[in-house]
Amino acid sequence: MPKIHNFSAGPGILPRQAMEAGAKACLEFNGKGLSLLEMSHRGKDFIAVMDQAVSLVKELLGVPAGYSVVYLQGGASLQFAMVPYNLLDEGESAAYLDTGTWANKAIKEAKIFGNVKVVASSKDANYNFIPKGYEIPKDAKYFHVTSNNTIFGTQMQHFPESPVPVVADMSSDIFSRPVDVSKFGLIYAGAQKNMGIAGTTLVIVRDDLLGKVKRKIPSMLDYKIHIAEGSMYNTPPVFAVYMAMETLKWVKQMGGVSAMQKRAEEKAQRLYKEIDENPLFKGTTAKEDRSRMNVTFVMEKPELEEAFGKEALAAGLSGLPGHRSVGGFRASIYNALELESIDALVSVMRDFAKKNA
């Protein structure tokens, strides 16, 4: 079978060794004659998996004391509600930066629980840049940002100094670069883009932010309960947690998040160079805000998009069509994507330009 280059935005590409470990675990785990999928999550075998999955997060990101790490369910979309449910009391306000579809959905959910101040938005420009020069209200309970915008291809290259705790949705770029966790009050990330498969969501939260709201919080939505129960208040998504552990083991083996950042920069630089120099293609975002995870581009001649899409697919380039809401093309170049896949895409773009320029 010919090589398939996976540019899917999520669920996205996984390290080969993580997939092989997962396939093996599905048949038999730890020599017990049972699949990981049919073992008790209360047994010592899976508890060891959960412990290592948490430990790797702390090690790779340098999580300081006073923070808890939990694996939850419901995707990042549930976190849009869990964050204000746990941190924002009635009558209080939170600040949000509107940089795309997911930020906008987070804003919508937060409005259910308190007052929301949108400090800046790039919506009028079709979210093609990250706003700058805004002021974060000092009376806000927290300031929410989306670090990388998968649909529109923008990324926060720097996080602002904030007078209030920063909450960050890092679903699509977590573990792709070093971050100073101490600068954040809460970080959350759906696993299916850069740290595993769909089914679990990572939350890193500063402990002293919890237990402050007066409202009663349902148990399944209460961070404190999940922390106290070690991510096992209810049956956790055992296979998704296992795959996160295996993916993070690969990140560590490859040199950690600093090595991932170097890989990301090299891949992004090579692809953006072709987009900028090829007469048939153009990027869709401000250059200073270009994502190193999701590269969005369109064609100078829109009537050629269908033909290019067919040639790309025939060459084994999978997952390139842009999000249905924006069109064009999107190459998601997550940690596990190799440089050879970038070269394959660049080659097809050059060949197409020679035939159609």
Compute the half-sphere exposure of residue 277: CA atoms within 13 Å on the CB side of its CA. 10
Annotated catalytic residue, options 102, 173, 222, 249: 102
- Give the C-alpha separation, 94 to 142, whole Å: 5
Distance of CA 120 to the CA centre of its chain: 22
Annotated catalytic residue, options 98, 169, 173, 289: 169
Contact by Cβ (8 Å): 128, 197: no
5: which strand partners?
Answer: 317
- Give the C-alpha separation, 71 to 77, whole Å: 14
Phi-psi region at 224: left, alpha or beta (left = phi > 0; alpha = psi -120 to 50): alpha
- Three-state SS for 37? helix
Tell me, yes or no, if 89 is annotated catalytic. no
- Three-state SS for 298? strand
Tell me, yes or no, if 169 is annotated catalytic. yes
Annotated catalytic residue, options 98, 141, 173, 193: 193
Tell me, yes or no, if 102 is annotated catalytic. yes
Counting DSSP H helices and E strands in the chain, the numbers are 9, 14
Distance of CA 17 to the CA centre of its chain: 21
218: tokens are 């349902």
- Give the C-alpha separation, 336 to 234, whole Å: 31
Q: Which residues are known to be catalytic?
A: 102, 169, 193
